[in-house]
Chain A
């Protein structure tokens, strides 16, 4: 055995030796200086793009890290790239240094051993993260195990223009009734868009008597039965959707102009503060407000992850750590900037840091943490995959 371990140490990939150790933060900082980090992140939201650019300027200033935002139309693109690089033997300096990732893609990458880590829980700012109060250690029920670090909290909210829809609705059933009474005034992004699938899951979670079945992997046995009420629901909803469901908005933000133009009276968002931000940017009228369902809505954390073959792991960790800093978190929560929920524990940060958070005006359309109510758990990612495929077969190929 001893011989084997020596042998293993000798032939261990050079990359493993060169990988920075997150526990040795000073070395990480030294390594990071001068590195360029290609952060692959969805680029469809201009407010997010602006925030990422700001992060870039800050990490350049403080740590000498150059951050390049590679604007994706689909996160899957970055995953594919890493997968291909692995197959092609590019193990040391891949194109992707960091990915803004969601549950399904994270699960896929983790399973395929494409991630660097664990690193997240050794980052200096991990100590101020609200580990107990927020779902930062599981992603779509999959344990993160330190392979991704959180940087924002998201929760489903419904965005309504009070000029058209004065009262909130408390359940998905009530939402269906509203849509039937107001045809053409509601839509959701077309799956497989992230938010579109979230809408499907939200319906399912809300209309199932017992949604706990969703916490486990979907099986061939239970999938059809569990989801049958969802398809009934959508069959009833679709003819009453915007454009009678023959076209869908591409993304969540694409629905804002539709509300501004009075085409939609109701839509869905995964960012409790986005509506306020959009009002500040003249993208939404100031009559817009948000609400959540009586039983609560699905919530999760946004994570970043570092591919195993990044050539700038130290730089990526510095960026990931900066994202969890009170400075970045406060800026992200500012509805004039981004309006994302923080991942930090307000009791763990210093009083001075807390002042900044307390001073933030949440914005007219943003619910307070209390109003946001219960956060419902994300179903296991296997549900999302099947729902997306099924949806495309039923509604994505209109005849």
Chain B
């Protein structure tokens, strides 16, 4: 196929790569949910899997957990981000917080969850810091904090990770709307900073970040790794239950698991619809509020609360990583000592070799997947530039689809389908599955800078008789080195953090840092978790650091490329 033609079909290929596994996975979920699983000699249709599911005494609680934690985490994270941006954008405090939160975005969910657990358990770092001097505890209180039946700690674990995500998305949206002047006008009209922003800027910004917010909602409702680490077990959340059913030796359980996966999908769809309706309700109230002309008397209090909440989120992740580090070097460390009796390299000597093997596997998968995602993304964007093959608004929705369909709804189906048709599990299928999640993020990360590139540069280069390929490789790519590397870092960190895809599609044979770390959760060895969690964080953070440093070194003599 000629390169020219290749570029024409690339957008279609990209959509297929991204949506194919999702659709195949859903197909693979629907059949067993109705009792049809020829590989196990079961022929449907029957509704037994659903009746079995509804017979489970833990179902109401599991469903409530999924809904409550998902909705709660999304509402709270969005509120914090909105109020924080409203009250503080443009200030030094905000820039500081922004700089602090951006790298935290790449910290894998599992590592952040472990860090949080190590902070807030009754024997955690916070209790140690306050004991016995302030609390009077000389042994940890018997309090149910981590794995509480209401999933509150799990919700907090999600919030601290979603705040950085939503904040960065919001900042990107701010750049596209003429927000500063609106806020200035509102302030000139006597509105408080926060109220003015909420009334004039937020509606526009929200319209832009709507899809990412939906992603947060769907993700929070169906997350597995965070739930395994922080969530309750009596009963577990629906997603954890699904995974448990899928791993049960009794095949009938797998049918029930598929039914539960469909239920999970239905829940997410229902929650998204409810959220959409909620937008209208909030919008109506908002318009009423705007019409009252209230200037925002309590703005200062709200502003400070938002800053405290945002800082707490950053602190939770940062301190969590630090406490992972402390545990990784800890000798004996009993409560309520703030630091271990001794620091030693012993834990790293023990677990280091294992982490290196897992790091190799992690890196191999992440690098291949990211390069593939980058190639497809650049191909699509270049096809758009050269041939005007641009995604419509509906197309953008397709881009978000793999992030909106709950993982627990289609990954088990994909695994069952692969077993059904005799496809081997292992590294290659894992790579394809990672691509489903990596591709949208790489695309979303690179699309804006790619499109923002001054097209007159291309015209000039063409006028200088450079072919389109030469323009791409010799002009556009070098100029976009930093966003390209950032997109790569995003892709790498998404791949590094994948748990369920690696676990289910890898069939247990593919051991990455994340699967190893979460597997350790059940063993409770905090030193090992410290080592793995730190390695996992490093694997995600180092690419981001490189994405900052490499352009600075390569273009150290090029002032024109220092910014952006």
Contact = CB atoms under 8 A, between A and B. Distances in A.
Nearest to B254: A80
A133 interface: no
A310 to B, nearest CB: 14
A261 interface: yes
Given A254-B524, A262-B139, A398-B234, A88 B147 contact: no
B61 A397 contact: yes
Contacts of B511: 70-71
B1 interface: no
A393 B57 CA distance: 7
A75 to B, nearest CB: 8
Contacts of B143: 243
A250 B234 CA distance: 11
B233 A248 contact: yes
A294 interface: no
Contact of B332 (A50, A73, A282): A282
A88 B249 contact: no
Contacts of B454: none
Overall SS of chain B's interface: loop
Contacts of B528: 46
Chain A, interface residues (CB within 8 Å), range: 35 or more
A83 B249 CA distance: 8
A95 B234 contact: no
Contact of A256 (B41, B149, B524): B524
A295 interface: no
A249 interface: yes
Contacts of A68: 509
A74 B247 contact: yes
A81 interface: yes
A80 B234 contact: no
A149 to B, nearest CB: 21
A81 B425 CA distance: 10
B379 interface: no
Interface string B507-530: 111010000100111111111100
Contact of B123 (A256, A263, A392): A263
B332 A285 contact: yes
A283 B327 CA distance: 11
Interface in A313-359: none
Contacts of B233: 190, 247-248, 250, 396
Given A79-B249, A255-B524, A248 B234 contact: yes
Contacts of B508: 40, 70-72, 77-78, 81, 95
Interface stretch (B72-80, B312-320, B349-357, B366-374): B349-357
Contacts of B254: 80
B128 to A, nearest CB: 9
Contacts of A73: 247, 519, 522
B525 A88 contact: no
Nearest to A75: B249
Contacts of B147: 247
A209 interface: no
B40 interface: yes
Contact of A76 (B146, B248, B527): B248
Nearest to B251: A83
Contacts of B419: 84-85, 88
Given A50-B350, A76-B247, A246-B234, A260 B332 contact: yes
A3 to B, nearest CB: 32
Interface residues of B, number: 59
A71 B333 CA distance: 27
A72 B519 CA distance: 7
A186 to B, nearest CB: 11
Contacts of B524: 249-251, 253-258
Contacts of A131: none
Contacts of A43: 516, 519-520, 523
B338 interface: no
A243 B233 CA distance: 13
Interface string B487-517: 0000000000000000000011101000010
B144 A263 contact: no
Contact of A261 (B335, B516, B521, B527): B335
Given A95-B425, A247-B147, A247-B148, A71 B420 contact: no
B68 interface: no
A44 B519 contact: yes
A138 to B, nearest CB: 21
A126 interface: no
Interface centre among A43, A79, A90 (most CB of B within 10 A): A43
B41 A46 contact: no
Contacts of A397: 56-58, 61, 234-235
A236 interface: no
A227 interface: no
B277 to A, nearest CB: 30
Given A43-B519, A95-B507, A53 B526 contact: no
Contacts of A393: 57
27 contacts: A43-B523, A46-B528, A53-B353, A53-B354, A70-B509, A70-B511, A76-B248, A80-B249, A83-B40, A84-B40, A88-B422, A95-B425, A184-B142, A244-B142, A246-B234, A254-B524, A256-B525, A262-B335, A263-B139, A263-B140, A281-B527, A282-B331, A282-B332, A396-B58, A397-B57, A397-B235, A398-B235
Given A46-B523, A257-B123, 16 more contacts: A46-B351, A76-B247, A79-B249, A87-B40, A87-B41, A190-B233, A244-B144, A248-B233, A250-B524, A251-B522, A251-B524, A257-B526, A260-B332, A262-B334, A392-B58, A397-B58
Interface of A: 38, 40, 43-46, 49-50, 53, 68, 70-74, 76-81, 83-85, 87-90, 95, 105, 108, 183-184, 190, 242-244, 246-251, 253-258, 260-263, 281-283, 285, 392-393, 395-399
